[in-house]
Amino acid sequence: MAGLAVILVLGGTVEGRRLAEELDRRGVGHVLSLAGRTSSPSGAARVGGFGGVAGLRSFLEENAITTVVDATHPFAEGMTRNAADACAALGIRLIRVDRPGWAAHPHAADWTWVGDHTAAAAAVGRLGAQRVLLTVGKQHALDYSPALDDVEVLVRATEPPPGPLPAQWTLLLARGPFALDDERRLFAESRIDCLVTKNSGGAATAAKLTAAHEAGAAVVMIARPAPPEGAEIVPDAESALNLLAR
C-alpha cells in the first residue's frame, strides 16, 4: 500500500497512535490529527479542530486525502459525525476503529445502563449512593453538578476539569492503565459505593469494573453512541491496517 494513499488518521487514542506508527514504518502517506485536548500531545502531524464539517471537507480536498480512519475515542461523537458527513459528501472511504465495549463483561447485566450524563446523575440519586467514583473524563465531570453536589464524589481524570469542583468533591489525577489491586485499594480506602463510567471498552481501565463488583458498589454505565453510517467498522488498529492493505 506504500505510496498509493494519503490517509487521514483521526487520533486521540492508543489505537490511533499505533496505526500512525505502523503506517510510518510501512512508508504509507498519512497525516495523524489530534484535537489538542491534552497539554502535551506527542507525535502529531497536526493538532486542533478542522472547523466543523466544512473545514474538514476543505482539509480533505486540499490534502488529496483518499481514506479517513476515524480512530477517535468511542465517545468522541462530534468528530465521528463530522468525519462521516464529510466523507459521505466527498465520496471518501471511511474506516472507523471502534474498540469492543464492555457489554460482554461478566457483570454487565448487574449494571444500570443509561444513555447520557444527565441520566447517569439521576441514576446515582435513585440508587442513593453516597461515595461515587466518577470516571467520565475531565470534560464531563461538571455535568454532574449541581445534581451530585451533596454527594461525596471522587473525580478521577487525567487532567483537571475546566472549573472548580463542588465542596464535597475531590479530584484524583491519574492516567491508566490501572491494576486490579490498585483499584481494589481505591474502592476500599474511599469506601466507594457507586462507580459512574462510560462504556469505553479496552483492558487499560477495565479493572475498576471487577473492583466495583467485589466491593458491592453499584455501576452506572453510560452506553455508547451508535457507530457512524457508511463506515467500515473494525475493532482495532491491526484490522484497520489489514483493510487498508487490501
Report helix, strand or coil for 168.
coil
Q: Are 126 and 104 in contact (CB under 8 A)?
A: no
At its nearest, how many Å lie between ligand NAP and the CB of residue 189? Answer: 26
Interface with ligand NAP (CB under 6 A), residue total 24
Interface positions, 106-145, toward ligand NAP (CB under 6 A):
137, 139
Verify cis geometry, omega within 30 degrees of 0, for the bond prior to 41.
no
DSSP helix/strand/coil, 113 = strand
- 51 or 128, CB closer to ligand NAP? 51
Cα–chain-centroid distance for residue 30?
22
Smaller CB distance to ligand NAP: residue 207 or 215? 207
Minimal CB distance residue for ligand NAP: 49
Of the pair 97, 215, the CB lying nearest ligand NAP is at 97
Helix pair 237-245, 14-26: axis angle to 10 deg: 40
Give 42's contacts (C-beta < 8 A, 6+ positions apart).
none
Beta strands, E only, the chain: 7-10, 30-34, 46-47, 67-70, 93-97, 112-114, 131-135, 152-157, 170-173, 194-198, 218-222, 232-234
Query: Which CB, 68 or 215, lies closer to ligand NAP?
Result: 68
Closest CB 81 distance from ligand NAP, rounded Å: 8
Give the contact letters, 182-201, x = binds to ligand NAP (CB under 6 A), - = no.
--------------------
Residues 6+ apart with CB under 8 A from 155: 134, 141, 161, 165, 169, 170, 171, 172
Which segment (68-76, 162-170, 202-210, 215-223) binds ligand NAP by CB under 6 A?
A: 68-76
The 25-64 site mask, x for binding ligand NAP (CB under 6 A), equals --------xxx-x-----------xxxx--xx--------
Q: Which three cell numbers stand for residue 25?
A: 514504518
Of 33 and 67, which CB lies nearer to ligand NAP in the complex structure? 33
**Rounded to the nearest whole angstrom, what is the least distance from the CB of residue 225 to ligand NAP in the complex?**
10
Complex with ligand NAP: residue 105 or 138, whichever CB lies closer: 138
Give the count of beta carbons closer than 10 Å to the beta carbon of residue 194: 23
**Closest CB to ligand NAP among 11 and 193?**
11
User: C-alpha cell of 33?
Assistant: 490529527
Tell me which residues in 70-99 interact with ligand NAP (CB under 6 A): 72-73, 75-79, 82
All cell numbers assigned to 227: 457507530
Residue 181 beta carbon to ligand NAP: minimum distance, rounded to whole angstroms:
24
Where on the chain is the footprint of ligand NAP (CB under 6 A)?
10-13, 33-35, 37, 49-52, 55-56, 72-73, 75-79, 82, 137, 139
